[in-house]
Amino acid sequence: MTEARVIVAGFGGQGILMLGKLLAHAAMIEGKQVTWLPSYGPEMRGGTANCNVIISDEPIGSPIVTEATAVIAMNLPSLDRFAAFVQPGGWLLLNRSLIPATPARTDVQVLAVPATELAQQQGSARVANVVMLGALLPLTQAVRQQSIVAAITGVLGRGKQHLLDINLRALEAGRALAEKVPVPS
């Protein structure tokens, strides 16, 4: 992996910024160069939120992603806004639970993840973001699985250790789904 440029977008309250933070934290654990640039509307919960994460083996010139290797769209407005940012051949992961449409682009790889349903099967719809993170890992190889596990453990801290198990199950559910997808070399 030379560089992963990821955009994560959805409604405030869907854990968009947390997903990006976990990805960035895992990259730091691996000693990689990383930027995390959050953006959210003034409404916060229910408004729009997105973040740019760049992970590289080389110094990063700008934290802004203009050509993404992957976009995670958690809702239809996010798909509409960010689908054009995926580079040809890149990944577009969409939350099929909230996005009934199929993207018009044919030059990208698409994975529709029933993130909300998979999260509910783990015990809470609130971990749909972690399901999507789990799906991203085998497709992009941006960071190692064990680094994400360490990031989740560290970010949750002692006060939220009771949430560790459900997050790890959600991560695994997303990973297992994505591993069934053939990845072009």
Q: What is the pLDDT of residue 158?
A: 76
* CA distance linking residue 35 with residue 62, whole number of Å: 8
73: nearest Cα among 152, 8, 13, 146: 8
Residue 118 covered by a domain: yes
Residue 135 covered by a domain: yes
pLDDT tens profile 90-106: 999 999 999 988 888 89
Residue 183 covered by a domain: no
Residue 19 covered by a domain: yes
Q: What confidence category does residue 88 fall into, taking pLDDT thresholds of 50, 70 and 90?
A: very high
Residue 95 covered by a domain: yes
Q: In what order do the strands lie in the sheet with 48-56?
A: 33-40, 48-56, 3-11, 68-73, 86-95, 109-113
Domains of the chain: total: 1
Q: What is the pLDDT of residue 46?
A: 61
Does residue 119 have a pLDDT over 80?
Answer: yes
7: nearest Cα among 46, 52, 39, 47: 52
pLDDT tens profile 27-73: 999 999 999 999 976 655 566 799 999 999 999 999 999 999 999 99
* CA distance linking residue 24 with residue 38, whole number of Å: 11
pTM score of the predicted model: 0.93
C-alpha distances in angstroms, 147 versus 15, 26, 46, 142, 152?
19, 5, 30, 10, 9
Residue 185 covered by a domain: no
Residue 25 covered by a domain: yes
Question: 117 lies in which domain range?
Answer: 3-178
User: Pairing relation of β-strands 109-113 and 33-40?
Assistant: unpaired
> Collapsing DSSP states into helix, strand and coil, what is residue 12?
strand
* CA distance linking residue 24 with residue 17, whole number of Å: 10
CATH of the domain at 90: 3.40.920.10
Q: What confidence category does residue 160 fall into, taking pLDDT thresholds of 50, 70 and 90?
A: confident
> Collapsing DSSP states into helix, strand and coil, what is residue 51?
strand
